[in-house]
Amino acid sequence: MKGANPADGKTVWFRKRKVLGTLCRAQLGRAFPRRVREPTPETTARKAAKLGGGGSSWPPAADEWELDERQHERPRKHVHDCVHREITLEPLLDAVTRTKAFQRLGSLRQLGSTHRVWPNATHTRKAHSLGVAYLAEKLCRNIAQRPMPHGVQPPDERDILLVKLAALCHDLGHGPFSHTFDNFVVPAAARRARDEGDAGLAKVLEKHKHEQLSVRLLRKVFAQPPLAAREDRLTEAELVFVEELILGGDLKGGVDARKGRGWDKRYLLDMDKLDYLRRDPDTVGMSGLVVPLLENAEVRLATFGGEARARPVICYPDKMSPSLFEVFRKRAELHCQLYTHKHVVAWDLLHRDFLLAADALGPVVGSLRLAETDAFLKMTDESVMARFE
């Protein structure tokens, strides 16, 4: 704006200065939150009069002040996601996302070599893990609102937290280029180790599964500060339950061997596929999976394979049959058109050779000796490729 005379120009300048001053104060307020002021004697008397001698006291005790301040710090962190919009994380989960093991997932592409063919397929394991945590919480809360069979308990807040934690950490053990590492690199490294006479390493590599490595890394994360010193840290039974959720069918003895939760909560699980079946297609221009499975999930008692006792499982009404078939149809479609595309597989084989060569260069890049978790955590997509540039 320009004034018609100096007076008008001066007025416009003062208005601009006032607007800038307001913006600066707003920014300073975000950077330096206002401290909680001690109550004045007048405030104390006024609050006491309002309470009317009903048994409460003013001002509150010191521990009540501290609890109130902790609640207002940031009880739940909000993360914005391009698929699920807004994801909320409890303080314990927020602390887990700040660890080195989880932050490493931000350097691992979800689709491995696929970005070489579809340039937009660059989303990471970190975004996928956050999405799985969101879906796990949504499923548990929907189940908790529905009637439960006799003797079966709905998930409580602690159960929901543990299921979200399992969903958040289920991919910690993924290597560089995601499934390329498991499907191409590890088998080739096992054959090379056996040819070189290292039977011990060959045996470790042949039994490798990224879920088992995820469990080991999870143990390591919770055994070190700051998580080991938190008041809301996991008990041993809770940690076992999270590990069982991550292992799933790979658990020794199967799902029936779970010990972290009793029979009345055996239905709890994670939601891996429902996230990537929607997230992966969106990045390459394909239609993602959109089915109302979570909203229609219920817990019912059922028997399988001649079991003597019925157990609680997640079920769906008959009307959801087309949606359930759509999940498997979409998964088969993505494997045919996306995950096993001939050019993607060609890049997978090339990255396999890169990783095997990187392992021969020593601990600067990393190690395929999967017992060395510290060396494994240094292996990311960028760290391996940077070695050859």
- The answer to whether residue 252 scores a pLDDT higher than 70 is no
- The answer to whether residue 72 scores a pLDDT higher than 70 is no
Q: Work out the average pLDDT over 150-165.
A: 90
Under the banding of pLDDT at 50, 70 and 90, the label for residue 130 is very high
* Predicted pLDDT of residue 207: 86
Structure token pair of residue 166: 């399992």
- Using alpha carbons, select from 221, 268, 218 the residue that is nearest to residue 248: 268
Give the span between the Cα atoms of 380 and 378, in whole angstroms.
6
Q: Is 287 exposed, middle or buried (0-12, 13-18, 19+ CB in 10 A)?
A: exposed
Q: Work out the average pLDDT over 96-125.
A: 93
- The answer to whether residue 263 scores a pLDDT higher than 90 is no
Give the span between the Cα atoms of 146 and 144, in whole angstroms.
6
* Predicted pLDDT of residue 12: 47
Domain boundaries, the chain: 77-386
Under the banding of pLDDT at 50, 70 and 90, the label for residue 76 is confident
Residue 83 and residue 278 in contact, taking contact as beta carbons nearer than 8 Å: yes
Q: Work out the average pLDDT over 200-222.
A: 88
Distances (CA, A) of 72 to 28, 35, 92, 173, 245: 18, 12, 16, 35, 32
Determine which of 10-14, 64-68, 372-376 has the lowest per-residue pLDDT on average: 64-68
Give the span between the Cα atoms of 178 and 227, in whole angstroms.
27
Residue 172 and residue 380 in contact, taking contact as beta carbons nearer than 8 Å: no
Determine which of 89-98, 280-289, 342-351 has the lowest per-residue pLDDT on average: 280-289
User: pTM for this structure?
Assistant: 0.76
Give the span between the Cα atoms of 358 and 382, in whole angstroms.
12
77 forms bridges with which residues in the sheet?
89
Q: What does the pLDDT look like over 336-356, one tens digit per residue?
A: 999 999 999 999 998 888 888
* Predicted pLDDT of residue 48: 63
- Using alpha carbons, select from 181, 179, 131, 188 the residue that is nearest to residue 338: 179
Determine which of 51-65, 68-82, 287-301, 361-375 has the lowest per-residue pLDDT on average: 51-65
- The answer to whether residue 70 scores a pLDDT higher than 60 is no
Determine which of 30-34, 163-167, 236-240, 278-282 has the lowest per-residue pLDDT on average: 30-34
Instruction: Please state the CATH superfamily assignment of the domain spanning residues 77-386 in this structure.
Output: Hypothetical protein af1432 (1.10.3210.10)
Q: Is 264 exposed, middle or buried (0-12, 13-18, 19+ CB in 10 A)?
A: middle
* Predicted pLDDT of residue 341: 93
Report the b/e string of 85-119 with b at 16+ CB within 10 A.
eebebbbbbebbbebebbebbeebbbbbbbbbbbe
- The answer to whether residue 23 scores a pLDDT higher than 80 is no
Residue 275 and residue 123 in contact, taking contact as beta carbons nearer than 8 Å: no
Residue 181 and residue 174 in contact, taking contact as beta carbons nearer than 8 Å: yes
Under the banding of pLDDT at 50, 70 and 90, the label for residue 303 is confident
